[in-house]
Every structure is written in C-alpha cells, then in structure tokens.
Structure 1
Amino acid sequence: MASKPDFIIVPGAWHSPESFKPTSDLLEKAGYTIHGVTHASFGASPPLQNFDPDVQVIRDVVNKVLSSGKDVVMVYHSYGSVPGSEALVEYMKDLETGNKKDGWGKIQRLVFCCSFILPEGGSLMSRLQFKDLPWFIVNGDEILPDTPGEIFYNDLSASAAAPYIAALKPHSYKTFSSQPSVAPWKVIPSTYIVCENDLAIPLPAQEGMLEMAHQMAPTSFDVIERCSASHSPFISQPEWLSEKLIKAAGGGG
C-alpha cells in the first residue's frame, strides 16, 4: 500500500498555522503528517515590500518534503494560494519538461480553501479591482482586519473566536499587489472548498473565480466541495474539512 501523502498547510493573511489546529489534529490522528507554513509576512517588522519572502518560506518547506520522497497535498487558505502558487515555479517547470528529480515525491493535489484563484500575472488587489475592502485597516505598509470576529469567524461564538482573534498579527500590505508567474491549478489536480457564509471572500466572488478558472482551463478544479462555514472552516467545521482533505489525499470520504 502506498504511503499517505503529507499535508502542507499555507494559511491566509494575518494567520499562523496554529489556527488550523482543530483540523490538523484530526488529520494527524488519521495518520497524516502536517507541515504548517508560517509566512515571513506574519507580523513582519518592517513589513515586506512584496511576497518574495513568503514564497521562499513555502518553497523551502515544499522542497524539503518532496526531497524526502513523500508525496504532498497543498492546502491553501485565502491569501495563501498567492505565494503558494509562486512557490511551485520550479515544480511546474519540471512538470513541463518531464524532469522529475530522482527520489522526489510529487504534488498530488492542491486544495483551495475559500482561497484566491489567480491567473498568471494576476494579484489579490486585481481581484479586488484595486480597491481596499471596507474592513481593511491600512497603516502605512501594514494591514489589519477590522471586525475579524464577523469577517473570519462569524459561525463561532464570541468566546470561541476570542483566542483566534488575539493570535492575529499585522500583514504586509504590499504583498497583496504581488503577481504569481504561474497558475498551477491549471495542470495539478485541484479541489476548491466553497464556504457559503464567508464574509472575507463572499460566495459570489468564490463562484466567480471558479467560473474564470473553468473558462481558462476546463479540466481545472475537478472537485468542488461546499459547506455552510465562514472564512475559517478549519476551526468551525474541522470534522467536515478533515474528511474532505483526506478525500483529497486519496483516502476516501
């Protein structure tokens, strides 16, 4: 029996991998190894001027796991898909040329959890039509979320959301203008987790990105899963999400 792939979790802006703990714990209990990425932009001082340091952190984790011979499922949340896509530039080149490194694993699937789908040369700000959202608090090159309880955790009680809100750190605003040069979702099998009560990336925006993706690459996002969660199903619906992630890893469900 083939060994289980490892999960690499790339969180969104303002968040660390610790926010995924309710889901990560269930995956580990099911026998999976989890690698959480802490963005260089997470509380960076001074703030980053682009997403390059985030890209490098993710690339280092990906290369370390693949070079160990393990297969990988990438899990992107929100902003995490932006540097997460660019981190796969070399992997994409190897796919195109057929130059798979001896002894290396492969990326089995990408999972976009209420995450941004960008074409080559796109940016998070371009998806927002270059307008700050009403809940953005921009202070120079730093950005924080206003009302995070409502925007990120509207399906949690105030007491349950409180520790997650306290753990948020400023994000580097200029990373939102960085542009991935590759769109790995076009060629690597991908799953999209639609969160119907997400107020950070509302349902019409998620569905609009999926429509764009299917127009550009008809075979992309061959699996679409839907739930009633807010922007953070890894906290509010960990059992459901872990089941879908295990399915994405080829474990059924």
Structure 2
Amino acid sequence: MNKGTLLLVHGAWHSPSCWDRLVPELEERGWRTSTVDLPSTWGDPQVGMYDDARAVRERLLALEGPVTVLAHSYGGVPVSEVAETVPNVRRLVYLAAHMLEAGEAVITPLGGPWFPEDAELLPAPDQPIETLYHDVPAAWAQAAVARLRPQSARAFTERQTRASWRALPSALIVCDDDRIMPELFIKRQLTMTEVVRHLPGDHSPFLSRPGELAGLVDEVTAALPARG
C-alpha cells in the first residue's frame, strides 16, 4: 500500500546517510522516502537553523502528493519552523526530537548554551558511541561515528518563529535510554501531543532498531488524523 512520502530530517552532526538502515524497512511497508541534508552540518559557521529550515521547505515543496515528516533530534527545530507553511504536509513525527515553542531556540529551555559563547563550530559529542549509538551493532556504530560532521553553533541559538506541531497532527517517539537528550526536554514534550510512543534503547533507533522503528512510524501515523 502506498502511504505517501516520508521526508526524513536528520539531527545535528549527522547526514542523510544515518537513515541507510531504516529506508529499506520503510519502503517495504509502502512508504516512499526522501531525505534532506541540513546545511548547518556542512562546516560553515555562518549557517544556522534558518538556513536548515529553508532547505527543509525547499525539499518539501519539491515533493508531490501527501507528505509526512519524520524529524530526529535537532531536526525537529527546522521542521517546526516551516512545515505548516507547505500545504501537502499532513503529519509530523518527532523522533527523540526537539519540540520547541515559537520564540525558543534549542538553548532556551536550558537557560543558555552548554558550549562556549564564542564557539562557532561544535565537534561531535565526546564518546559518541556511548552517547548516541550504544545499542547499534559495532560495525554500523563505527561507520556512523566516521560520518559525523562539525555542527554550526548558530543552529542552536536561532529562535523559531513558528511551532508547526501546534498546527499539524503530530506524534512524539521517546527513546527510553536516550543518553544525549536532556530529561528537561523529554518531560515537557510529553504534554505537547496526545500521541506519544516509547522505544527501548538509544538515541539512534534508525540504526539500532530499524524494523521496530518503521513499525512504530506506521503505528503513530495511523493514530494521527491527516491535515486535509
């Protein structure tokens, strides 16, 4: 059964290659898939969240037919900034992702940056296998670490002007052993949508549990109404 297009939006430090294990599982279940490469991970300190949001919007506008968006981690921020402005977007799924209010940046709920204020490019987190991929098979985890890229600090400081999860049917998938998403974010996001599901394990189930995640994407999208 054709379920429409699922746009996959990666998080900070990552690239579209992070979806390599998930895409076949989704396509077997009837999804067409598409990805976007967020420019804040290209090594340019002058690029930020608004540039990422423009890239997401351009990709959405290029897709025909109904679109569901699956956003991981930081990817939830540029998605929230623009998704409601594209008429064919029907639903949003936030996977271990930030759901911010209009006027907030990633650093806002934390009271400020966790990195030096003069930082421009942020390296990948320390001990990335432990923080991001501790459930991922070793070969895939090592390959994922090798593909991590510097992240523009500006992406974490630019404030959303919209919160598209308020305008579109949205679901949240929480990873129960997430070692990088602050508990503060998880707790407040549990109240932001009625459709919340949990996966065991790490921050990166697209690599550690691709089949389980694909099944859960089917479940939450079936539980959501579609924007007409």
TM-score when normalising by structure 2: 0.89
Instruction: Tell me: CA distance 1:251–1:26, structure 2 relative to 1, closer, same or farther (3 Å).
Output: farther
Are residue 74 (structure 1) and residue 54 (structure 2) matched? Answer: no
Instruction: Give 2:97's aligned residue.
Output: 115
* 1:198-213 aligned within 5 A: 198-203=178-183, 205-211=185-191, 213=192
CA deviation map 1:29-49 (0-9, x unaligned): 2231111110111223x3234
Are residue 143 (structure 1) and residue 122 (structure 2) matched? Answer: yes
2:56 to 55, 58, 68: 58
Instruction: Give 2:222's aligned residue.
Output: 250
Which piece of structure 1 moves more, 108-117 or 153-162?
A: 153-162
* 1:6-85 aligned within 5 A: 6-44=5-43, 46-65=44-63, 68=64, 70-85=65-80
**SS of alignment partner, residue 20 of structure 2:** helix
Instruction: Give 1:96's aligned residue.
Output: none
CA deviation map 1:118-161 (0-9, x unaligned): 011011011222131xxx69983100221111110122354431
Are residue 126 (structure 1) and residue 119 (structure 2) matched? Answer: no
Instruction: Give 1:90's aligned residue.
Output: 85
Larger Rg: 1
- Whether the aligned pair in 2 keeps the contact of 1:108 and 1:189 (CA below 8 Å) is yes
* 1:94-105 aligned within 5 A: none
Q: Distance in 1 between matches of 2:176 and 2:41?
A: 27
CA deviation map 1:164-202 (0-9, x unaligned): 000000010111011111111112111100111001104
Instruction: Tell me: CA distance 1:58–1:202, structure 2 relative to 1, closer, same or farther (3 Å).
Output: same
Q: CA deviation at 1:18?
A: 1.1
Q: Distance in 2 between matches of 1:157 and 1:229?
A: 13
Instruction: Tell me: CA distance 1:231–1:137, structure 2 relative to 1, closer, same or farther (3 Å).
Output: farther
Percent identity between the two aligned chains: 29
Q: CA deviation at 1:107?
A: 2.0
Give 5+ residue unaligned stretches, structure 2.
Answer: none
Q: Distance in 1 between matches of 2:187 and 2:94?
A: 13
* 1:96-245 aligned within 5 A: 106-132=88-114, 140-144=119-123, 145-203=125-183, 205-211=185-191, 213=192, 221-245=193-217
Q: Distance in 2 between matches of 1:141 and 1:246?
A: 38
**SS of alignment partner, residue 190 of structure 2:** helix
Give 5+ residue unaligned stretches, structure 1.
Answer: 92-99, 101-105, 214-220
Q: Distance in 1 between matches of 2:91 and 2:126?
A: 33
The amino acid across from 1:109 in the alignment is R
Q: Distance in 2 between matches of 1:43 and 1:178?
A: 17
**SS of alignment partner, residue 250 of structure 1:** helix
The amino acid across from 1:190 in the alignment is S
Number of equivalent positions: 223
